[in-house]
Structure 1
C-alpha cells in the first residue's frame, strides 16, 4: 500500500488541530483503486439525535455545530464512537467542516462514504446535495459545483434508520431492545470511512478486471468520467519487473488485453498478487490521473457438481464470520484487526470465510487477497421483508453497488445475496430472486451465485443447506444421496422453489457447538446441548467433520462460527478474539478434509 496520509490530509488535520496519525482508521479505504491525493475525514464530528424527525423543519441542515461529539467512522451504538447509545435511533444529524485544498482547483472533487446505515441526505452550506439508500454499500458524491478550492465549507448529513419497518436490510441487528438469540447490537449512521478525493475531469472512473488463466491474459475494461483522445496506459508488474504494458484511447468502448507470461496463480495456498498501475496521459505524455491497484490470476468455475479453483477441484473449508467487534460493533477498531481475523481463521484450519449478514469493508477483502483466504460475499438481508416490493426495489439498488465495488477481488469466489429466507412466499419473492440472479450475472459472470443460503432456492449455482445435527452418525445419514429422491434440504413444501439439479452441494452452516463458562449459560446459547467437557467438544466436532468428509456429494462446508458474538457463544474464539481451545487440535480436525479433497460421483 502507498502513503496513508497525504499532504492534503495533513493540511486538514492541522486545520482541525488533530494529529494525522491519531485519525481513526487512517488507511486508504479503497485498496484496489488507490489515488495518492485524498483527505481522510474520520475523527471528531458533532451530532445530535432527532427522534422526532423534525430536523428539517428546525433547519438543522444549516447548523454549524451540534451539541454532542462522535468519533467517525464508529456508529453511535459503539464504545469507540464515544457515544454508546444502544436504544433505537430513527434519525440523527452529523456535522463537520471540510477544507478544500487550493491546488484542487480545476479538478472533480468527490465526497466518498464507505457505508451509512441506512438512508442519508447530504448538505453542504445548507444546500441539499444528494440522498442515498443502502446501509452497506459504498457511494461517492461529486461535490465539485458546491465547493470552492481554497475554501472551508459546512458539511451536514441527515441519517434515518427504520430497522423494524421491513423495507431495508439490517442483517443481525436486533429488532428488540435487548440483543437476543442470534441478533445483536444495532448499527446506525456512518460506520465506515468518509473521505474526499480530487480527480482530473478526464480521470478513470472504474475498471473491470477479468483474469483469463486459460489464455494466460488479463482483460481490462475501463470507464472514464469524460471520454477523450487521451491515452490510458496499464502496467502489470511482478514486484519491480514489468510483465505487461498496454496503451489505448480513453474510451468507454475500450477493452485492453495484457498477456501474462510465466503466469503465477492466486490461491489460498499461494496468494500471489500482481501490481497494477493505471495512468491517464494527455498527448504530451503528462499524467492526468494515476491509480494503483492489484490483481490475482485465478479462475473459479463449477461443473458436474464440483467447485473448481484454477481448473482443479477445491474443497472449501469455510467459517462463518459475522464481523462484529465488542468495541466497534460493525466497524473493526483497526486495519490490523481485520487482518488478524483472517489469521485466526487460517490458524484454525479454514481456507476461507462466509462473510455473514454483513457487507465487509474493502480493507477486509484486501487482506483476504493478500493472505490467501477465499470469501463469500453476502448482503445484510435479514429484517427485510423479502415479499415486499418496496423492500425489493431498495435491495436491488444496494446489491448492485455491492457487486460493482467488490467484483475485482480474487479472494471473493461466491455471491450470496440472501440468507435463510424462510418467510418467503410465492409472487414477489421468486421474482426478486430471479432478478437478482440475472442482474448479478450481468455485472459479474465469473462467479457462482448462492441465491439464498440455507435453501428456499429459486435460481442458484450453489445448492446450500444448513444442518445443525449434532450427532455425527445422524448427520452422515442425513447427507446420503438416494436415487430418485432430493437430497437433504431445509425447504420442501413450497411449490415455487427449485429442485436440485446437480449443483455443487455445500453445507454452508453446521456445527455451532456452544462452549461457555457455567456462569454464562443462563443468558447465552449455542446449537444443541452443551458439551460437558472440552474433550466432548472435540469428539463431537470431529464426528461432524468426518460425516462431511464421508458424504459423497458435499463439496464444502461452513462452520458456525469464528468468534462468539455477544450472547451467542458458539465461536471457536471468544468475542475478544482469544482462543477457547487447543487451536492446533481444532486445526487438525477441520483439516481432516484437505482442500484438494473432492467426493467425485
Structure 2
C-alpha cells in the first residue's frame, strides 16, 4: 500500500472521464475546538493519511475526534485552464464544511454518500489550499451511524470518523454530465437512461458488446432516453456480462462532454413459482445464498487499504460458491459495487441505521430519509444491487410502511425489504415490501411466504472458531456458537447448509444469509479471519455444498398434506405410537388390554396449522383446548394460549415426505431444520446438524420418520 498516494484507482467506474487529480495522501490535521477560526494558510500540528478514518491505524492518528480540521494544498494541471473544476468527496463522516483558499464552498451532512462542489470561483493561479472541517456525531444521535460506536463491544464496532473515501478533482465543461440513471428494461429490450447534468445539451448514447455496437439513441439532458438493446445478453451471477456505454453531450454540433460507463441487462421481481412467492432474476427463481458483509478492515476500519483488498472479500464469495452478499449497515465506495457488477454477485444493500439506544426525533427521521434517497440515486445503476434493505432488527426504527412505499417510488425496479429481522429484537414489521425476513441464530429456519412477499432468512449461523494469532481481541472473542476445531466448524456449517434444502422446497424459503464472511473485531463468526489470512472452512467442500444448494432451487416440494380428523402417529414397521399419557411425551406400544384412556392417549386430531393453515397442528383427543407442541426441545401436549404467537408456532408442524420414503417427517414451523424425533424413549425436537445429544447421528432419518394412520381401536 502506498503511503503517499493510497487508493489511486479512479473512484467512479460508472461515470469515467480521462482527466482527474487524486488528492489522497498525507494531509495536515488537528483536533478542532468550538469557535476555532478557519486555519487559512496555517500549518496544522499533525498529519493524517487520507482517506482513512481517524480512528484507524492507517490514518496515523488512531484516535477518535468529534471535531477536526484537514488541510492540504494542490496545483492544477496546466491543461485544465478555462474549465470548471469540481472537488469530489467519496464520503465524509458526518458533517463536512469545505473551504478553498479561505472561502467557503459548501457544507454536506451525511456519512455515506458522495458529494461535490464546483470550486472554480475560489481557485487562484499556482498553489491552492483546501481545508475541511468535520463534525462527527457518533453517539449523539440524529444521523445514520451503522455499527459505529465510541465504545465498541459485541456486535458494534469502532467509529470511523472524518474523510473515509477518496478525495479528487476533475475538470469539466460548463455543461457536463453529473449523474447517470441506467435502468434495464429486459421485456422492452432496452436500457432506460437518464443523463443528468448542468445546462442544456443534446445527448448521444452508444452501447457496445465488446467492439460491436448494439444500440444508439439521442435525447436531451435530464430526459429519459430509450436505448435499444435487442437480443440482450443478460447479466447474472453465473454470467455477469456488462455492456459498455459512451455518453456524449453536444451543443451546437460541438462535443462538450464525453463519459464512459457500463450497464448490465437483468430483471428482478416477484413471481409465483410452484405455488410459492419467489424473487425471480431474469424471470427465473434462483435461490440467493450469501453472507453478511460488514465492510470492516483491521487496519483501515471502514476503508479498505487497497482496491485489491476491497475486491478480495467479493472474490472469496465467488470462490466459495455464493451468489449473493448482504452489505450490512454500511455503504461502500463505488468501486466495491463495480467489482460486484463485474464478478457477478447479487447485492442486498442496507441503509445504515441510526443509534439503537436513542429515540428517533422527527429531525433525525428526515435526515435518514434524505440521505437514503441520495444513496439510492448514487448506486441505482449497479446491476448487482437487487434489494434495498431499509431497516434492521428495529434499530432506530420509524415509519416502516411509509418508508418502504417511499423507496418503492424512488426505485420501482428493485425489491424492497422493509425490515430485516421482523421476528427479532422488538422490530416492527411494516407489513409491506417484497420480503418477509427472519433472523434465527443459529438456525436455520424460515418464515412463510405470502401472496405479496417472499420468505427469506436475512441472518443465520454465526458459528465461531478462534484462530490464535489472528484475533483482534482474544480476551473478548465471541460467537453465537463456538466450535472447538476446524473439523467441527466444517461439519456444523455443512449441516446448516444441508438443512436449508428442504426449506426451499417445503417452506418456500427463497434466500439465506450466513453471518458472516469475516471476523470483525471481537466477533469470530467469520469464514475468514479479520486479517483475511486464514480461511477457516474447507473451500472445496463448502463450494460444492453451496453450488448444489443453489442448483436445487427448482426441486419439487415434498410436503405431505394430512387430512383433518383423528389420527395416530406411529413408528414404521411396528405397533408403537406417539403417546401423551405422560409428560414429556413418550412413544411405545399400547397395553395388551388397552383402556379407552390408553387409546385416547395415542389419538390426536389433525387440524389446520395454528400458525400456518398450510401446515398442521395436532389437537388432543382428550382435551380440545390442548395441542401437541415443542417447548425447551421436548414434546408436550399443553393447553392453547390463544394470545401467544409463540405457542401457535410451537404447535404447528409441516409434514414432509421422509428422506427414506418410509413415511413422513414432522418439521417444526418455527425451527424449520428440526423435526419430532424418537430418542431414548422420549420425544424431542431434533436438528440433524445440531450439537445436543438428541440431534443428528446415524439413526436420525429413521428416528424422525412417522406413519400417519387411523387411531387404534379396542
Shift of residue 64, structure 1, vs aligned partner: 3.1
Matched, 1:310 2:245: no
The alignment partner of 1:71 has SS state of strand
- Please, which runs of 5 or more residues in structure 1 have no aligned partner? 1-18, 482-486, 488-499
C-alpha change, 1:32 and 1:98, in structure 2 (3 Å) is: same
**Bigger radius of gyration, 1 or 2?**
2
Equivalent residue for 2:112?
136
2:543 corresponds to 1:587: yes
Deviation at 1:100, TM superposition (A): 3.0
Confirm or deny: 8 A CA contact 1:313 1:596 kept in the other structure. no
- What is the CA-CA distance between 1:58 and the residue it aligns to? 3.3
Match of 1:199 among 164, 172, 175: 172
| Separation (CA, whole Å) in 2 of partners of 1:546 and 1:114 | 41
Aligned residue runs from structure 1 range 11-160, under 5 A:
22-50=4-32, 53-54=33-34, 57-85=35-63, 88-148=64-124, 150-160=125-135
Distance 1:332 1:289 in 2: 32
Greater Cα offset, 125-134 or 311-320: 125-134
Q: How many residue pairs were aligned?
A: 539
Mapped partners of 1:266, 1:590: distance in 2: 20
Choose the corresponding residue for 1:543, options 490, 495, 502: 495
| Match in the other structure for 2:147 | 172
Q: Is the 8 A contact 1:235 1:245 kept in 2?
A: yes
> Following the alignment from structure 2 to structure 1, what is the Cα–Cα distance between the partners of residues 378 and 53?
22
- Say whether residues 1:532 and 2:484 are aligned partners: yes
Residue 569 of structure 1: CA displacement?
Answer: 0.2
Match of 1:438 among 402, 405, 418: 405
TM-score by length of 2: 0.72
In the TM superposition, residue 550 of structure 1 has moved relative to its aligned partner by: 1.0
CA gap of 1:143–1:422, structure 2 versus 1, over 3 A, is closer
Contact persistence 1:416–1:451 (CA under 8 A):
yes
* Aligned 8 A contact 2:4 2:26 in 1: no
TM-score (norm 1): 0.85
**Retained in 1: the 8 A contact 2:353–2:396?**
no
In structure 1, the residue matched to 2:626 is none
Of the structure 1 ranges 368-377 and 501-510, higher mean CA displacement relative to structure 2 is found in 501-510
* Distance apart, 1:543 and its partner CA: 2.6
CA shift in 2, pair 1:445/1:170, >3 Å? same
Mapped to 2, the partners of 1:436 and 1:423 lie a distance apart of 13
Could you tell me which of 268, 271, 275 is aligned with 1:300?
A: 268
Partner of 1:11: none
Q: Which whole-Å CA distance do the structure 2 matches of 1:332 and 1:422 have between them?
A: 26
Structure 1 pair 501–160 and aligned structure 2 pair: CA distance change class (3 A): farther
Cα shift readout 1:60-106 (whole Å, capped 9, x = no counterpart): 34243211111111111112112222xx4211100011323454344
Instruction: Note if contact 2:354-2:395 (Cα within 8 Å) is conserved in structure 1.
Output: no
Counterparts of 1:339-354 in structure 2, within 5 Å, are 339-354=311-326
Quick one: structure 1 residues 20 and 532, their matched pair in 2 at CA, closer, same or farther if it must change by over 3 Å? closer
Which is strand-richer, 1 or 2? 2
- What is the deviation of 1:208? 1.4
What CA deviation, in whole Å up to 9, does each residue of 1:345-398 have, x standing for no partner? 111221120001110111000011111111111122142646321211211121
Structure 2: gaps spanning 5 or more residues: 423-427, 558-714
Instruction: Name the SS of the counterpart of 2:553 in structure 1.
Output: coil
Structure 1 stretch 179-188 or stretch 401-410: which is displaced more? Answer: 179-188
Asked whether 1:451 is paired with 2:421, we answer no
Q: Deviations over 1:551-585 (max 9, x none)?
A: 12110000000001111001011111131122112
Q: Relative to 1, partners in 2 of residues 1:423 and 1:140: Cα closer, same or farther, differing over 3 Å?
A: closer
Q: For CA contacts below 8 A with separation 6 or more, give which structure has more relative contact order.
A: 1
Query: For the Cα contact (< 8 Å) 1:64–1:154, is it kept in 2?
Result: no
In structure 2, distance between residues paired with 1:30 and 1:325: 22
Q: Is the 8 A contact 1:301 1:448 kept in 2?
A: yes
